[in-house]
Protein backbone atom coordinates (compact mmCIF):
# COMPACT_ATOMS: atom_id res chain seq x y z
CA UNK A 1 0.00 0.00 0.00
CA UNK A 2 1.22 3.47 -0.88
CA UNK A 3 0.05 6.26 1.41
CA UNK A 4 -1.09 9.61 0.12
CA UNK A 5 -1.23 8.61 -3.51
CA UNK A 6 -3.71 10.82 -5.34
CA UNK A 7 -5.40 10.57 -8.67
CA UNK A 8 -4.25 13.44 -10.85
CA UNK A 9 -6.55 14.38 -13.70
CA UNK A 10 -4.32 15.55 -16.55
CA UNK A 11 -6.54 17.48 -18.95
CA UNK A 12 -5.59 17.99 -22.55
CA UNK A 13 -5.45 21.71 -23.34
CA UNK A 14 -7.61 22.43 -26.37
CA UNK A 15 -5.33 23.48 -29.22
CA UNK A 16 -5.56 26.69 -31.27
CA UNK A 17 -6.69 24.73 -34.36
CA UNK A 18 -9.73 23.12 -32.71
CA UNK A 19 -12.14 22.54 -35.59
CA UNK A 20 -15.07 20.42 -36.73
CA UNK A 21 -14.07 18.20 -39.64
CA UNK A 22 -16.25 15.10 -39.31
CA UNK A 23 -13.20 12.86 -39.17
CA UNK A 24 -14.56 10.15 -36.85
CA UNK A 25 -17.04 7.64 -38.29
CA UNK A 26 -19.12 6.11 -35.48
CA UNK A 27 -18.84 9.33 -33.44
CA UNK A 28 -22.24 10.88 -34.08
CA UNK A 29 -21.41 14.34 -32.72
CA UNK A 30 -18.31 14.61 -34.93
CA UNK A 31 -20.38 13.61 -37.97
CA UNK A 32 -23.19 16.00 -37.11
CA UNK A 33 -20.96 19.07 -36.72
CA UNK A 34 -18.69 18.43 -39.71
CA UNK A 35 -17.62 21.61 -41.52
CA UNK A 36 -19.30 23.96 -39.05
CA UNK A 37 -17.39 26.94 -37.71
CA UNK A 38 -15.58 26.19 -34.43
CA UNK A 39 -14.59 28.51 -31.58
CA UNK A 40 -11.07 27.63 -30.40
CA UNK A 41 -10.85 30.38 -27.77
CA UNK A 42 -14.16 29.45 -26.17
CA UNK A 43 -13.24 25.76 -26.39
CA UNK A 44 -9.95 26.22 -24.54
CA UNK A 45 -11.50 28.48 -21.90
CA UNK A 46 -14.30 25.96 -21.31
CA UNK A 47 -11.63 23.31 -20.67
CA UNK A 48 -9.78 25.61 -18.26
CA UNK A 49 -13.02 26.32 -16.38
CA UNK A 50 -13.54 22.59 -15.93
CA UNK A 51 -10.03 22.25 -14.49
CA UNK A 52 -10.74 25.16 -12.14
CA UNK A 53 -13.85 23.42 -10.83
CA UNK A 54 -11.89 20.26 -10.00
CA UNK A 55 -9.18 22.27 -8.33
CA UNK A 56 -11.73 24.14 -6.22
CA UNK A 57 -13.26 20.82 -5.19
CA UNK A 58 -9.89 19.96 -3.67
CA UNK A 59 -8.58 17.61 -6.39
CA UNK A 60 -5.13 17.54 -7.98
CA UNK A 61 -5.23 18.83 -11.52
CA UNK A 62 -2.65 18.52 -14.27
CA UNK A 63 -2.43 19.66 -17.85
CA UNK A 64 -1.08 18.19 -21.08
CA UNK A 65 0.01 20.50 -23.92
CA UNK A 66 -1.58 20.46 -27.40
CA UNK A 67 0.38 18.79 -30.19
CA UNK A 68 2.16 20.75 -32.88
CA UNK A 69 -0.09 21.63 -35.83
CA UNK A 70 0.16 20.97 -38.65
CA UNK A 71 1.33 17.59 -37.44
CA UNK A 72 4.93 17.05 -38.64
CA UNK A 73 4.31 13.30 -38.40
CA UNK A 74 1.19 13.69 -40.54
CA UNK A 75 2.88 15.86 -43.16
CA UNK A 76 5.77 13.41 -43.46
CA UNK A 77 3.34 10.48 -43.75
CA UNK A 78 1.47 12.31 -46.51
CA UNK A 79 4.63 12.62 -48.57
CA UNK A 80 5.94 16.09 -47.79
CA UNK A 81 9.70 16.12 -47.28
CA UNK A 82 10.83 17.77 -44.04
CA UNK A 83 12.08 20.85 -45.83
CA UNK A 84 8.74 21.57 -47.57
CA UNK A 85 7.54 25.03 -46.74
CA UNK A 86 4.58 24.51 -44.37
CA UNK A 87 2.32 27.01 -46.12
CA UNK A 88 2.92 25.27 -49.47
CA UNK A 89 2.10 21.85 -47.99
CA UNK A 90 -1.15 23.15 -46.50
CA UNK A 91 -2.14 24.83 -49.78
CA UNK A 92 -1.50 21.67 -51.70
CA UNK A 93 -3.64 19.61 -49.29
CA UNK A 94 -6.41 22.23 -49.35
CA UNK A 95 -6.50 22.04 -53.16
CA UNK A 96 -6.22 18.30 -53.56
CA UNK A 97 -7.86 16.69 -50.52
CA UNK A 98 -9.23 19.04 -47.89
CA UNK A 99 -9.98 16.20 -45.45
CA UNK A 100 -6.24 15.52 -45.24
CA UNK A 101 -5.72 19.18 -44.39
CA UNK A 102 -8.15 18.83 -41.47
CA UNK A 103 -6.43 15.61 -40.43
CA UNK A 104 -3.02 17.28 -40.01
CA UNK A 105 -4.62 20.31 -38.33
CA UNK A 106 -6.97 18.51 -35.89
CA UNK A 107 -6.77 19.40 -32.21
CA UNK A 108 -7.85 15.86 -31.27
CA UNK A 109 -4.98 15.34 -28.79
CA UNK A 110 -7.14 17.42 -26.40
CA UNK A 111 -9.05 14.21 -25.57
CA UNK A 112 -6.43 13.01 -23.15
CA UNK A 113 -8.39 9.91 -22.16
CA UNK A 114 -7.12 8.56 -25.47
CA UNK A 115 -3.52 9.60 -24.90
CA UNK A 116 -2.38 6.46 -23.13
CA UNK A 117 -3.22 3.56 -20.83
CA UNK A 118 -1.74 4.13 -17.39
CA UNK A 119 -1.02 1.68 -14.57
CA UNK A 120 -0.17 3.04 -11.09
CA UNK A 121 3.00 1.88 -9.37
CA UNK A 122 0.93 -0.02 -6.77
CA UNK A 123 -0.04 -2.50 -9.49
CA UNK A 124 2.94 -2.93 -11.79
CA UNK A 125 5.64 -5.60 -11.81
CA UNK A 126 8.48 -3.17 -11.16
CA UNK A 127 6.58 -0.70 -8.90
CA UNK A 128 6.90 2.11 -11.45
CA UNK A 129 4.08 3.99 -13.17
CA UNK A 130 3.64 2.56 -16.68
CA UNK A 131 2.25 4.41 -19.71
CA UNK A 132 1.49 3.04 -23.16
CA UNK A 133 0.65 5.86 -25.58
CA UNK A 134 -2.34 4.82 -27.70
CA UNK A 135 -1.67 4.18 -31.39
CA UNK A 136 -5.18 5.43 -32.31
CA UNK A 137 -4.93 3.74 -35.69
CA UNK A 138 -8.70 3.60 -36.24
CA UNK A 139 -8.81 7.19 -37.52
CA UNK A 140 -6.19 8.84 -39.72
CA UNK A 141 -6.04 12.16 -37.88
CA UNK A 142 -5.60 10.48 -34.50
CA UNK A 143 -3.00 8.00 -35.79
CA UNK A 144 -0.56 10.94 -35.91
CA UNK A 145 -0.86 11.38 -32.14
CA UNK A 146 0.90 8.26 -30.79
CA UNK A 147 4.55 9.23 -31.32
CA UNK A 148 3.84 12.87 -30.36
CA UNK A 149 2.13 11.72 -27.15
CA UNK A 150 5.11 9.48 -26.38
CA UNK A 151 7.37 12.52 -26.67
CA UNK A 152 5.18 14.62 -24.36
CA UNK A 153 4.90 11.86 -21.76
CA UNK A 154 8.66 11.16 -21.90
CA UNK A 155 9.29 14.82 -21.19
CA UNK A 156 6.92 14.96 -18.21
CA UNK A 157 7.49 11.45 -16.86
CA UNK A 158 11.19 11.41 -17.64
CA UNK A 159 12.49 10.09 -14.32
CA UNK A 160 13.04 6.40 -14.98
CA UNK A 161 13.26 5.58 -11.29
CA UNK A 162 9.52 6.18 -11.18
CA UNK A 163 8.13 6.07 -14.71
CA UNK A 164 8.17 3.93 -17.84
CA UNK A 165 6.75 5.27 -21.10
CA UNK A 166 6.43 2.40 -23.58
CA UNK A 167 6.26 2.78 -27.33
CA UNK A 168 2.74 2.73 -28.83
CA UNK A 169 1.62 -0.76 -29.92
CA UNK A 170 2.30 -1.82 -33.53
CA UNK A 171 0.37 0.15 -36.15
CA UNK A 172 -1.69 -2.82 -37.24
CA UNK A 173 -5.40 -3.28 -36.89
CA UNK A 174 -4.94 -6.32 -34.62
CA UNK A 175 -3.43 -3.91 -32.08
CA UNK A 176 -5.89 -1.02 -32.45
CA UNK A 177 -5.69 0.84 -29.16
CA UNK A 178 -7.53 3.94 -27.88
CA UNK A 179 -5.92 4.24 -24.46
CA UNK A 180 -7.57 4.86 -21.10
CA UNK A 181 -11.01 5.49 -22.63
CA UNK A 182 -11.42 1.71 -22.60
CA UNK A 183 -9.78 1.07 -19.25
CA UNK A 184 -10.89 1.41 -15.63
CA UNK A 185 -9.50 0.51 -12.26
CA UNK A 186 -11.02 -0.46 -8.93
CA UNK A 187 -9.23 0.21 -5.63
CA UNK A 188 -10.38 1.06 -2.10
CA UNK A 189 -7.84 3.90 -2.03
CA UNK A 190 -5.97 5.17 -5.06
CA UNK A 191 -2.63 3.99 -3.66
CA UNK A 192 -3.77 0.47 -2.85
CA UNK A 193 -3.37 -2.39 -5.30
CA UNK A 194 -6.20 -2.25 -7.82
CA UNK A 195 -8.18 -4.47 -10.18
CA UNK A 196 -8.00 -3.47 -13.83
CA UNK A 197 -10.93 -3.51 -16.21
CA UNK A 198 -10.03 -3.53 -19.91
CA UNK A 199 -12.92 -3.19 -22.34
CA UNK A 200 -12.53 -4.19 -25.99
CA UNK A 201 -14.76 -3.89 -29.03
CA UNK A 202 -13.42 -6.79 -31.05
CA UNK A 203 -10.98 -9.64 -31.14
CA UNK A 204 -10.12 -11.84 -34.08
CA UNK A 205 -13.11 -14.11 -33.46
CA UNK A 206 -15.74 -11.39 -33.27
CA UNK A 207 -17.27 -10.84 -36.68
CA UNK A 208 -18.10 -7.19 -37.21
CA UNK A 209 -21.23 -6.88 -39.35
CA UNK A 210 -20.74 -4.91 -42.58
CA UNK A 211 -21.75 -1.27 -42.17
CA UNK A 212 -21.47 -1.38 -38.37
CA UNK A 213 -19.58 1.38 -36.60
CA UNK A 214 -15.85 0.78 -36.10
CA UNK A 215 -14.72 -1.27 -33.09
CA UNK A 216 -11.68 0.75 -32.11
CA UNK A 217 -10.19 -1.37 -29.33
CA UNK A 218 -8.95 -4.94 -29.71
CA UNK A 219 -8.62 -7.57 -27.01
CA UNK A 220 -5.07 -8.25 -28.18
CA UNK A 221 -4.10 -4.61 -27.65
CA UNK A 222 -5.49 -4.60 -24.11
CA UNK A 223 -3.84 -7.93 -23.24
CA UNK A 224 -0.50 -6.75 -24.59
CA UNK A 225 -0.62 -3.58 -22.51
CA UNK A 226 -1.57 -5.45 -19.32
CA UNK A 227 1.33 -7.86 -19.84
CA UNK A 228 3.90 -5.18 -20.62
CA UNK A 229 2.88 -3.20 -17.53
CA UNK A 230 3.45 -6.32 -15.43
CA UNK A 231 -0.12 -6.36 -14.09
CA UNK A 232 -1.09 -9.42 -12.05
CA UNK A 233 -3.26 -11.61 -14.32
CA UNK A 234 -5.47 -12.40 -11.30
CA UNK A 235 -6.23 -8.71 -10.94
CA UNK A 236 -7.00 -8.01 -14.59
CA UNK A 237 -10.36 -8.47 -16.30
CA UNK A 238 -11.05 -8.24 -20.05
CA UNK A 239 -14.65 -7.51 -20.95
CA UNK A 240 -16.36 -7.06 -24.29
CA UNK A 241 -18.23 -3.82 -24.89
CA UNK A 242 -21.78 -4.40 -26.16
CA UNK A 243 -21.97 -4.20 -29.95
CA UNK A 244 -25.33 -2.45 -29.51
CA UNK A 245 -23.61 0.32 -27.51
CA UNK A 246 -20.95 0.84 -30.18
CA UNK A 247 -23.57 0.90 -32.91
CA UNK A 248 -25.57 3.48 -30.90
CA UNK A 249 -22.47 5.74 -31.04
CA UNK A 250 -20.45 4.70 -27.97
CA UNK A 251 -17.21 4.55 -29.95
CA UNK A 252 -15.27 4.36 -26.67
CA UNK A 253 -16.46 2.50 -23.60
CA UNK A 254 -16.19 5.69 -21.52
CA UNK A 255 -19.32 6.89 -23.29
CA UNK A 256 -21.33 4.21 -21.43
CA UNK A 257 -19.43 3.59 -18.19
CA UNK A 258 -16.96 5.11 -15.73
CA UNK A 259 -15.10 3.71 -12.70
CA UNK A 260 -14.06 5.40 -9.46
CA UNK A 261 -12.89 3.83 -6.21
CA UNK A 262 -14.73 0.52 -6.07
CA UNK A 263 -17.68 1.81 -8.10
CA UNK A 264 -18.75 1.29 -11.68
CA UNK A 265 -21.36 3.72 -13.01
CA UNK A 266 -22.73 2.20 -16.20
CA UNK A 267 -25.57 1.74 -18.61
CA UNK A 268 -27.37 -1.61 -18.45
CA UNK A 269 -26.49 -2.29 -22.09
CA UNK A 270 -22.86 -1.19 -21.93
CA UNK A 271 -21.35 -4.68 -21.89
CA UNK A 272 -21.97 -7.77 -23.98
CA UNK A 273 -22.27 -10.05 -20.91
CA UNK A 274 -23.25 -9.61 -17.26
CA UNK A 275 -20.70 -7.28 -15.75
CA UNK A 276 -21.57 -8.36 -12.18
CA UNK A 277 -20.39 -11.90 -13.01
CA UNK A 278 -17.27 -10.71 -14.78
CA UNK A 279 -16.27 -8.44 -11.90
CA UNK A 280 -17.11 -10.95 -9.16
CA UNK A 281 -13.49 -10.87 -7.96
CA UNK A 282 -13.56 -7.14 -7.17
CA UNK A 283 -13.61 -6.71 -3.41
CA UNK A 284 -16.45 -4.44 -2.27
CA UNK A 285 -17.59 -3.74 -5.84
CA UNK A 286 -20.34 -1.13 -6.04
CA UNK A 287 -22.44 -1.24 -9.18
CA UNK A 288 -24.41 1.90 -10.09
CA UNK A 289 -26.44 0.63 -13.00
CA UNK A 290 -28.86 2.70 -15.05
CA UNK A 291 -31.59 0.53 -16.57
CA UNK A 292 -32.28 0.72 -20.29
CA UNK A 293 -35.96 1.39 -19.68
CA UNK A 294 -35.09 4.49 -17.67
CA UNK A 295 -32.44 5.74 -20.11
CA UNK A 296 -32.08 4.54 -23.69
CA UNK A 297 -28.64 3.96 -25.20
CA UNK A 298 -29.43 6.81 -27.60
CA UNK A 299 -30.03 9.20 -24.69
CA UNK A 300 -26.88 7.94 -22.96
CA UNK A 301 -24.92 8.82 -26.10
CA UNK A 302 -26.56 12.19 -26.76
CA UNK A 303 -26.30 13.36 -23.12
CA UNK A 304 -22.87 11.80 -22.39
CA UNK A 305 -24.09 11.08 -18.83
CA UNK A 306 -21.52 8.29 -18.40
CA UNK A 307 -18.73 10.41 -19.81
CA UNK A 308 -18.85 12.33 -16.57
CA UNK A 309 -15.90 12.34 -14.21
CA UNK A 310 -16.77 10.36 -11.08
CA UNK A 311 -14.41 11.54 -8.35
CA UNK A 312 -13.91 11.17 -4.61
CA UNK A 313 -13.26 14.44 -2.82
CA UNK A 314 -10.90 14.83 0.16
CA UNK A 315 -13.95 14.63 2.50
CA UNK A 316 -14.70 11.19 0.95
CA UNK A 317 -17.89 12.35 -0.79
CA UNK A 318 -18.38 11.17 -4.37
CA UNK A 319 -19.14 13.77 -7.01
CA UNK A 320 -20.22 13.44 -10.63
CA UNK A 321 -18.83 16.12 -12.95
CA UNK A 322 -21.31 15.89 -15.81
CA UNK A 323 -21.68 17.75 -19.10
CA UNK A 324 -24.49 20.32 -18.90
CA UNK A 325 -26.23 18.37 -21.68
CA UNK A 326 -27.57 16.01 -18.97
CA UNK A 327 -29.88 18.83 -17.86
CA UNK A 328 -31.33 19.22 -21.34
CA UNK A 329 -32.70 15.69 -21.72
CA UNK A 330 -35.68 14.69 -19.63
CA UNK A 331 -34.43 11.14 -19.04
CA UNK A 332 -31.03 12.15 -17.66
CA UNK A 333 -32.47 15.09 -15.73
CA UNK A 334 -34.97 12.80 -14.03
CA UNK A 335 -32.39 10.13 -13.36
CA UNK A 336 -30.10 12.59 -11.60
CA UNK A 337 -33.03 14.19 -9.74
CA UNK A 338 -33.77 10.74 -8.26
CA UNK A 339 -30.48 11.05 -6.32
CA UNK A 340 -28.90 7.73 -7.33
CA UNK A 341 -27.10 5.87 -4.56
CA UNK A 342 -23.32 6.12 -4.70
CA UNK A 343 -23.33 9.70 -6.06
CA UNK A 344 -23.43 12.39 -3.37
CA UNK A 345 -23.50 15.47 -5.60
CA UNK A 346 -23.63 16.45 -9.25
CA UNK A 347 -21.80 19.39 -10.83
CA UNK A 348 -22.35 20.26 -14.46
CA UNK A 349 -19.84 21.85 -16.79
CA UNK A 350 -20.43 23.55 -20.10
CA UNK A 351 -17.94 22.19 -22.63
CA UNK A 352 -20.06 22.60 -25.74
CA UNK A 353 -17.14 22.97 -28.18
CA UNK A 354 -15.57 19.67 -27.13
CA UNK A 355 -18.95 17.93 -26.94
CA UNK A 356 -19.67 18.91 -30.53
CA UNK A 357 -16.77 16.69 -31.55
CA UNK A 358 -17.84 13.85 -29.23
CA UNK A 359 -15.61 14.73 -26.26
CA UNK A 360 -17.19 14.98 -22.79
CA UNK A 361 -15.62 15.76 -19.39
CA UNK A 362 -14.06 12.29 -19.06
CA UNK A 363 -12.63 12.38 -22.59
CA UNK A 364 -10.66 15.49 -21.75
CA UNK A 365 -8.72 13.92 -18.90
CA UNK A 366 -6.11 11.23 -18.34
CA UNK A 367 -6.12 9.81 -14.83
CA UNK A 368 -2.68 9.18 -13.35
CA UNK A 369 -2.37 7.95 -9.76
CA UNK A 370 0.83 9.40 -8.28
CA UNK A 371 2.50 9.10 -4.88
CA UNK A 372 4.11 12.20 -3.34
CA UNK A 373 7.58 11.15 -4.53
CA UNK A 374 6.26 10.50 -8.04
CA UNK A 375 4.62 13.93 -8.05
CA UNK A 376 7.86 15.58 -7.06
CA UNK A 377 9.70 13.69 -9.83
CA UNK A 378 7.64 15.27 -12.64
CA UNK A 379 9.82 16.79 -15.34
CA UNK A 380 7.70 19.88 -16.09
CA UNK A 381 5.41 22.40 -14.38
CA UNK A 382 2.21 20.57 -15.31
CA UNK A 383 0.38 20.41 -11.97
CA UNK A 384 -1.74 23.51 -11.95
CA UNK A 385 -3.00 25.88 -9.26
CA UNK A 386 -5.35 28.83 -9.70
CA UNK A 387 -2.63 31.35 -10.66
CA UNK A 388 -1.38 28.92 -13.32
CA UNK A 389 -4.93 28.51 -14.66
CA UNK A 390 -5.20 32.31 -14.78
CA UNK A 391 -1.98 32.41 -16.78
CA UNK A 392 -3.22 29.71 -19.12
CA UNK A 393 -6.51 31.56 -19.64
CA UNK A 394 -4.61 34.78 -20.40
CA UNK A 395 -2.40 32.83 -22.83
CA UNK A 396 -5.51 31.54 -24.62
CA UNK A 397 -6.99 35.04 -24.75
CA UNK A 398 -3.77 36.33 -26.32
CA UNK A 399 -3.28 33.70 -29.00
CA UNK A 400 -6.49 31.88 -29.92
CA UNK A 401 -8.98 32.87 -32.57
CA UNK A 402 -12.62 33.38 -31.72
CA UNK A 403 -13.73 31.47 -34.77
CA UNK A 404 -12.25 29.02 -37.25
CA UNK A 405 -13.86 27.88 -40.50
CA UNK A 406 -12.68 24.90 -42.58
CA UNK A 407 -11.07 27.20 -45.18
CA UNK A 408 -9.03 28.96 -42.46
CA UNK A 409 -7.02 25.77 -41.83
CA UNK A 410 -4.76 26.55 -44.80
CA UNK A 411 -4.10 30.13 -43.65
CA UNK A 412 -0.31 30.53 -43.23
CA UNK A 413 -0.97 33.16 -40.59
CA UNK A 414 -2.65 30.48 -38.47
CA UNK A 415 0.55 28.41 -38.50
CA UNK A 416 2.50 31.40 -37.19
CA UNK A 417 -0.09 31.95 -34.48
CA UNK A 418 0.08 28.31 -33.41
CA UNK A 419 3.88 28.36 -33.21
CA UNK A 420 3.97 31.59 -31.23
CA UNK A 421 1.37 30.22 -28.82
CA UNK A 422 3.02 26.81 -28.35
CA UNK A 423 6.46 28.32 -27.96
CA UNK A 424 5.16 30.48 -25.12
CA UNK A 425 3.34 27.52 -23.58
CA UNK A 426 6.48 25.41 -23.38
CA UNK A 427 8.05 28.18 -21.31
CA UNK A 428 5.00 28.54 -19.07
CA UNK A 429 4.89 24.80 -18.38
CA UNK A 430 8.70 24.40 -18.31
CA UNK A 431 8.52 21.76 -21.01
CA UNK A 432 11.75 22.75 -22.76
CA UNK A 433 11.95 22.65 -26.55
CA UNK A 434 9.27 20.06 -27.10
CA UNK A 435 8.09 20.69 -30.64
CA UNK A 436 9.77 20.08 -34.00
CA UNK A 437 9.51 23.76 -34.95
CA UNK A 438 11.62 24.58 -31.88
CA UNK A 439 14.51 22.29 -32.89
O1 LIG B 1 -11.71 10.10 -31.25
N2 LIG B 1 -13.34 13.17 -31.90
C3 LIG B 1 -12.72 12.25 -30.95
C4 LIG B 1 -13.45 12.29 -29.64
C5 LIG B 1 -12.74 11.52 -28.57
C6 LIG B 1 -13.54 11.34 -27.34
N7 LIG B 1 -12.81 10.60 -26.38
C8 LIG B 1 -13.32 9.72 -25.49
N9 LIG B 1 -14.52 9.23 -25.61
N10 LIG B 1 -12.54 9.28 -24.58
C11 LIG B 1 -12.68 10.84 -31.53
O12 LIG B 1 -13.64 10.45 -32.22
C13 LIG B 1 -13.49 14.40 -33.99
C14 LIG B 1 -12.58 15.27 -34.83
C15 LIG B 1 -13.31 15.92 -35.97
O16 LIG B 1 -14.24 15.31 -36.53
O17 LIG B 1 -12.96 17.08 -36.32
C18 LIG B 1 -12.70 13.51 -33.02
O19 LIG B 1 -11.59 13.15 -33.29
- Given a cut of 70, whether residue 380 has pLDDT beyond it is yes
> 300 CB contacts (<8 Å, ≥6 apart)?
248, 250, 255, 256, 267, 290, 306
Cβ atoms 245, 256 nearer than 8 A: yes
- Examine the residue annotation and report whether 347 is marked as an active-site residue of this protein: no
Which 3 state secondary structure label does DSSP give 165?
A: strand
Residue 171 DSSP one-character state: S
In ligand 1, the atom with minimum distance to the C-alpha of 102 is: 17
User: How far does the centroid of ligand 1 lie from the alpha carbon of residue 372, in Å?
Assistant: 33
Cβ atoms 106, 17 nearer than 8 A: yes
Task: State the DSSP H helix or E strand holding residue 200, giving kind and residue range, or none if neither.
Answer: strand 195-200
Share of the chain above pLDDT 90, in %: 97
Mean pLDDT of the chain, nearest integer: 97
- Examine the residue annotation and report whether 363 is marked as an active-site residue of this protein: yes
- Given a cut of 70, whether residue 2 has pLDDT beyond it is no
**Cα–Cα distances in Å, from 378 out to 152, 157, 180, 254, 370?**
12, 6, 20, 27, 10
Neighbours of 126 (CB within 10 A): 9
Cβ atoms 261, 318 nearer than 8 A: yes
Q: How far apart (Å, rounded) are the C-alpha atoms in residues 37 and 401?
A: 11
Which 3 state secondary structure label does DSSP give 30?
A: helix
Mean pLDDT of 10-31: 97
Q: How far is CA 69 from the centre of its chain?
A: 18
Scored b (16 or more CB within 10 A) or e, 314-341 reads eeeebbbbbbebbeebebbeebbeeeee
Q: Which of 105, 353, 357 to mutate to test the pocket of ligand 1 (most atoms within 8 A of CB)?
A: 357
- What single string gives the DSSP state of each residue in 17-29? T-------TT-HH
Summarize pLDDT for 183-230 with one digit per residue, the tens.
Answer: 999 999 999 999 999 999 999 788 888 889 999 999 999 999 999 999
Phi, psi values for residue 20, rounded to 5°: -110, 105
- Per-residue confidence (pLDDT) for residue 3, from 0 to 100: 64
Phi, psi values for residue 300, rounded to 5°: -60, -40
- Given a cut of 70, whether residue 1 has pLDDT beyond it is no
> Closest by alpha carbon to 37, among 14, 23, 16, 20?
20
Q: Whose CA is nearest to atom 3 of ligand 1?
A: 358
Summarize pLDDT for 260-305 with one digit per residue, the tens.
Answer: 999 999 999 999 999 999 999 999 999 999 999 999 999 999 999 9
Cβ atoms 433, 385 nearer than 8 A: no
Task: State the DSSP H helix or E strand holding residue 31, giving kind and residue range, or none if neither.
Answer: helix 28-32
In ligand 1, the atom with minimum distance to the C-alpha of 141 is: 19
Q: How far apart (Å, rounded) are the C-alpha atoms in residues 95 and 151?
A: 31
- Given a cut of 90, whether residue 12 has pLDDT beyond it is yes
Alpha helices, H only, 279-329: 297-303
Catalytic residue among 39, 252, 347, 399: 252
How many alpha carbons fall within 13 Å on the CB side of residue 133?
Answer: 23
Catalytic residue among 7, 68, 347, 363: 363
Cβ atoms 181, 166 nearer than 8 A: no
- Per-residue confidence (pLDDT) for residue 206, from 0 to 100: 82
What's the pTM? Answer: 0.98
User: How far does the centroid of ligand 1 lie from the alpha carbon of residue 29, in Å?
Assistant: 9
> Closest by alpha carbon to 361, among 298, 287, 310?
310
Q: Whose CA is nearest to atom 12 of ligand 1?
A: 24
Q: How far apart (Å, rounded) are the C-alpha atoms in residues 366 and 109?
A: 11
Which 3 state secondary structure label does DSSP give 250?
A: coil
User: How far does the centroid of ligand 1 lie from the alpha carbon of residue 162, in Å?
Assistant: 31
User: How far does the centroid of ligand 1 lie from the alpha carbon of residue 30, in Å?
Assistant: 7
**Cα–Cα distances in Å, from 354 out to 39, 211, 301, 349, 363?**
10, 27, 14, 11, 9
Q: How far apart (Å, rounded) are the C-alpha atoms in residues 108 and 14?
A: 8
Summarize pLDDT for 56-113 with one digit per residue, the tens.
Answer: 999 999 999 999 999 999 999 999 998 999 999 999 999 999 999 999 999 999 999 9
- Given a cut of 90, whether residue 356 has pLDDT beyond it is yes
Helix axis angle, 98-105 to 86-96, nearest 10°:
140
Summarize pLDDT for 136-154 with one digit per residue, the tens.
Answer: 999 999 999 999 999 999 9
Q: Which of 134, 136, 302, 358 to mutate to test the pocket of ligand 1 (most atoms within 8 A of CB)?
A: 358
> Closest by alpha carbon to 352, among 127, 43, 118?
43
Mean pLDDT of 344-349: 98
Q: Whose CA is nearest to atom 19 of ligand 1?
A: 108
Q: In what order do the strands lie in the sheet with 195-200?
A: 183-186, 195-200, 236-240
Pocket, ligand 1, Cβ cutoff 6 A: 19-24, 27, 30, 106, 108, 111, 113-114, 142, 181, 251-252, 254-255, 357-359, 363
In ligand 1, the atom with minimum distance to the C-alpha of 34 is: 16
- Given a cut of 90, whether residue 367 has pLDDT beyond it is yes
Q: How far apart (Å, rounded) are the C-alpha atoms in residues 426 and 408?
A: 25
Amino acid sequence: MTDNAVEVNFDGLVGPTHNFAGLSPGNVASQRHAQQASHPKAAALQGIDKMRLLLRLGLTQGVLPPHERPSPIGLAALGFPRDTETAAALRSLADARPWLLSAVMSSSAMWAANAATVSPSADTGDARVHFTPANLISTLHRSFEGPATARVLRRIFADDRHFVVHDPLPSHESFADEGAANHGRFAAEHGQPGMHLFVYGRDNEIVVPPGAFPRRQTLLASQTIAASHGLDPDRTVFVQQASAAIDAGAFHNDVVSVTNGRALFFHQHAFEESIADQLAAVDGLQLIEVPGEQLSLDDAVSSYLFNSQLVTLPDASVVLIAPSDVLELESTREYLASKPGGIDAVHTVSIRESMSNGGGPACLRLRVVLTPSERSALGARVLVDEPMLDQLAAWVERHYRDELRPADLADPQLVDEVRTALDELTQLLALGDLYDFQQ
